[in-house]
């Protein structure tokens, strides 16, 4: 092995150790490794940064915008209620989530499927009081497993099919033939996830467990015309079991209904009184409930608005005045919805009658630029935006759904490649105002995009330095005495390990020529070895960097590197045993 090869091995080992110890995020680790390979001369600049111009990275960026467009119009929340429902157990919730994700991934690229499902599953899990970390990794795995069931389910399958056709133009791949390997893997994988995830995955959502210590507010919300909760009981509408917020009474037609039972049916115009933390107040707005205070009437007609929290400064001119006397709405073009004071929520018949004090935390509905413009205002000691608090644009939900459907249709029929289709869909989301430019910018997860782009450079180093071929060749030499099954096991294991270290497509591209040569020497057909490499390269369950969808759930799920090892490695082993056994029985 050359000097470049040993340098590459050292960098890869160091990268895995740093990520396993959770010392830095995957984007920083991968960029750091890329920099070392560049400085040491293993890679040229064009090779190191080839991933940043790769269509896959552009596609994922566009899909983030498309997903944000569907989310900002409330379409994902509607899908959560219709498709996912309200399961009563963790196993039931995981199955309800994984089946549609796997089914969609069999016919669509699994990256957009996960991009669409991540915000949906996150909010749904919170409403159903399930840990997000017990949902997002199974979501990624279900999408990967579903992609194994058809030839078009993942681009990795198409890479291997293309390489096989180049080697032997007479070989033909049927779209569903790989299902005889993929469907057993899917069934085994989903069963394992449902049974084992509750023990092998930890609840990484510590922030949700601290909701009781967060700032609480009392707020009134009104059921507006067209709200999906009209005609539903409190329980069916999901308003009884929201984490961190509690519905304690309803005003209806001048009467107060206190301690309302879950079976109470909601009506248009009902005034619902909640007490809870600000993050849960944000969830209420997605149910087409609007703030109902004497301060908010003039601004609720505005489409672009969001929530901010502001702390009244020690020398603020607002101190000693009631909210109504301060003319807050007129001066700031914003409305105070609720007040938190010295660790307790302030309750008052009318918000306008609350007399402000130094240190009060105000929950404010305002225009998006309020926080930026008022940072230096002497009346406030601190101003912070409430994340993801812009109310959905429900009137454009149908438009976002049509755009999404068209994107899927033109890609599934082969009329347009995924990158072009997703870029066009993202542009349409902006042009039709399904989301604003600022929301589109915020939707781009640069941590994921940088990590994926850098992974292509790492893969180029492994391939160009000869590390991959050298290691694979030696292991196959060891396996040959064990016959054809031993060669299959070795090929599968090497491909799966490489997929976890680099990317699935790089692993497939690197291992296919080696696997095809070994199979030919052992009398194994090109078709079965191709299908096995497709499955092996896709089973990057045990590391967050091997598959794009793993990186997409890494941050939102709050995972550590070791979480993927605990759940993914046994899953990878089970899928490997299933795949090698079927190939041996059906084709050898």
Is residue 116 in a domain? yes
Q: How far apart are CA 515 and CA 528, in angstroms?
A: 11
Domain co-membership, 174 together with 312: no
Domain co-membership, 348 together with 199: no
Give the per-residue pLDDT at 208.
Answer: 38
Q: How far apart are CA 32 and CA 48, in angstroms?
A: 11
Identify which of 251, 305, 241, 304 has the alpha carbon closest to the alpha carbon of residue 276.
241
**pLDDT beyond 60 at 331:** yes
Give the per-residue pLDDT at 20.
Answer: 61
Q: How far apart are CA 441 and CA 428, in angstroms?
A: 15
The runs of H, that is alpha helices, within 40-88 are: 45-48, 55-72, 75-79
Is residue 395 in a domain? no
Poorest-confidence range of 199-213, 225-239, 365-379, 506-520?
199-213
pLDDT one-digit tens code per residue, 389-419? 666 676 787 888 888 888 878 877 778 877 8
**pLDDT beyond 60 at 572:** yes
Report yes or no: 475 and 490 within 8 Å, Cβ to Cβ.
yes
Number of domains the chain contains: 2
Q: What single-letter DSSP state applies at residue 481?
A: G
pLDDT one-digit tens code per residue, 56-83? 778 778 878 887 887 778 765 666 566 7
Give the per-residue pLDDT at 212.
Answer: 42
Domain co-membership, 483 together with 381: no
**pLDDT beyond 50 at 206:** no
Domain co-membership, 36 together with 111: yes
CATH number of the domain encompassing residue 365? 3.30.70.1450
Average pLDDT rounded to a whole number, residues 426-443: 87
Give the per-residue pLDDT at 138.
Answer: 94
Domain co-membership, 192 together with 64: yes
DSSP, residue by residue, 93-153: HHHHHHHHHHHHHTTS-HHHHHHHHHHHHHHHHHHTT--THHHHHHHHHHHHHHHTTSTTS
Domain co-membership, 359 together with 466: no
**pLDDT beyond 60 at 147:** yes
Is residue 531 in a domain? yes
Is residue 220 in a domain? no
pLDDT one-digit tens code per residue, 516-557? 877 877 788 889 999 999 999 988 898 887 787 888 788 778
Domain co-membership, 477 together with 360: no
Edge-to-edge strands, sheet with 344-345: 344-345, 335-341, 361-366, 306-312, 380-385
Domain co-membership, 372 together with 453: no
As a 3-state breakdown, the chain gives helix, strand, coil percent values, each rounded to 5, of 60, 10, 30
Identify which of 354, 295, 358 has the alpha carbon closest to the alpha carbon of residue 327.
295
Is residue 234 in a domain? no
> Tokens at residue 522, please?
């052992």
Contacts of 246 (CB under 8 A, 6+ apart): 274, 275, 276
Domain co-membership, 358 together with 475: no
DSSP, residue by residue, 488-500: HHHHHHHHHHHHH
Domain co-membership, 451 together with 571: yes
Domain co-membership, 486 together with 361: no
Is residue 270 in a domain? no
Give the per-residue pLDDT at 348.
Answer: 58
Give the per-residue pLDDT at 503.
Answer: 66
> Tokens at residue 416, please?
């347009």
Q: For the chain, what is the radius of gyration of the CA atoms?
A: 27
Give the per-residue pLDDT at 301.
Answer: 46
Is residue 488 in a domain? yes
* Parent domain of 523: 3-204+447-587
Q: How far apart are CA 239 and CA 71, in angstroms?
A: 20
Report yes or no: 323 and 202 within 8 Å, Cβ to Cβ.
no
Is residue 217 in a domain? no
Confidence of residue 428 (pLDDT cuts 50, 70, 90): very high
Give the per-residue pLDDT at 142.
Answer: 94
Domain co-membership, 194 together with 322: no
Identify which of 158, 133, 137, 148 has the alpha carbon closest to the alpha carbon of residue 188.
148
Give the per-residue pLDDT at 573.
Answer: 94
Give the per-residue pLDDT at 300.
Answer: 46
Whole-model pTM above 0.75?
no
């Amino acid at each position: 092995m050359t000097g470049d090869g040993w340098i590459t091995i050292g960098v890869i080992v160091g990268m895995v150790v740093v990520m396993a110890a959770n010392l830095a995020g995957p984007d920083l680790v991968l960029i750091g490794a890329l920099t070392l390979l560049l400085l040491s001369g293993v890679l040229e600049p064009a090779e190191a940064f080839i991933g940043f111009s790769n269509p896959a990275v552009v596609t994922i960026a566009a899909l983030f915008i498309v997903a944000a467009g569907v989310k900002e119009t409330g379409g994902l929340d509607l899908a959560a209620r219709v498709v996912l429902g309200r399961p009563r157990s963790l196993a039931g919730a995981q199955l309800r989530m994984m089946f549609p994700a796997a089914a969609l991934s069999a016919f669509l690229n699994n990256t957009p499927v996960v991009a669409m499902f991540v915000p949906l599953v996150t909010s749904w899990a919170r409403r159903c009081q399930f840990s997000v970390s017990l949902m997002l990794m199974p979501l990624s795995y279900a999408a990967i497993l579903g992609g194994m069931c058809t030839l078009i389910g993942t681009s990795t399958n198409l890479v291997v099919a293309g390489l096989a056709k180049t080697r032997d133009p007479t070989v033909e791949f049927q779209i569903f033939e790989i299902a005889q390997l993929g469907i057993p893997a899917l069934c085994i994988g989903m069963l394992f996830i449902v049974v084992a995830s509750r023990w092998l995955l930890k609840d990484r959502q510590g922030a949700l467990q601290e909701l009781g210590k967060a700032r609480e507010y009392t707020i009134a919300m009104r059921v507006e015309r067209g709200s999906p909760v009209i005609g539903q009981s409190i329980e069916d509408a999901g308003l009884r079991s929201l984490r961190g917020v509690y519905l304690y009474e309803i005003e209806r037609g001048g009467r107060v209904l206190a301690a309302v039972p879950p079976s109470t049916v909601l009506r248009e115009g009902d005034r619902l009184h909640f007490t809870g933390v600000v993050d849960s107040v944000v969830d209420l707005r997605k149910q087409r409930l609007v703030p109902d205070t004497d301060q908010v009437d003039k601004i609720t007609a505005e489409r672009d608005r969001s929530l901010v929290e502001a702390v009244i400064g020690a020398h603020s001119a607002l101190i000693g005045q009631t909210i109504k006397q301060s003319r807050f709405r007129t001066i700031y073009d914003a409305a105070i919805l609720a007040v938190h004071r010295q660790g307790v929520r302030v309750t008052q018949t009318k918000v306008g009658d609350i007399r402000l004090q130094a240190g009060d935390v105000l929950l404010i509905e305002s225009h998006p630029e309020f926080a930026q413009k008022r940072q230096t205002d002497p009346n406030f000691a601190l101003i912070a935006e409430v994340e993801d608090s812009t109310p959905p644009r429900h009137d454009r939900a149908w438009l976002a759904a049509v755009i999404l459907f068209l994107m899927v249709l033109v890609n599934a029929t082969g009329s347009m490649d995924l990158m072009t289709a997703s870029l066009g869909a993202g542009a349409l989301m902006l042009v039709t105002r399904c989301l604003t430019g600022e929301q589109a910018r915020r939707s781009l997860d640069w941590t994921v995009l940088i990590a994926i782009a850098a992974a292509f450079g790492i893969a180029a180093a492994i391939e160009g330095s000869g590390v991959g071929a050298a290691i694979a060749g030696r292991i196959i030499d060891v396996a040959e005495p064990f016959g054809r099954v031993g060669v299959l096991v070795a090929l599968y294991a090497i491909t799966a390990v490489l997929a976890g270290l680099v990317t699935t497509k790089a692993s497939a591209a690197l291992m296919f020529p080696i696997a095809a040569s070994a199979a030919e020497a052992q009398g194994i057909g090109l078709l079965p070895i191709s299908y096995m490499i497709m499955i092996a390269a896709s089973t990057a369950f045990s590391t967050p960097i091997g598959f794009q969808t793993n990186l997409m759930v890494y941050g939102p799920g709050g995972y550590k590197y070791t979480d993927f090892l605990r759940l993914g490695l046994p899953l990878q082993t089970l899928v490997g045993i299933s795949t090698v056994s079927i190939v041996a029985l059906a084709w050898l």
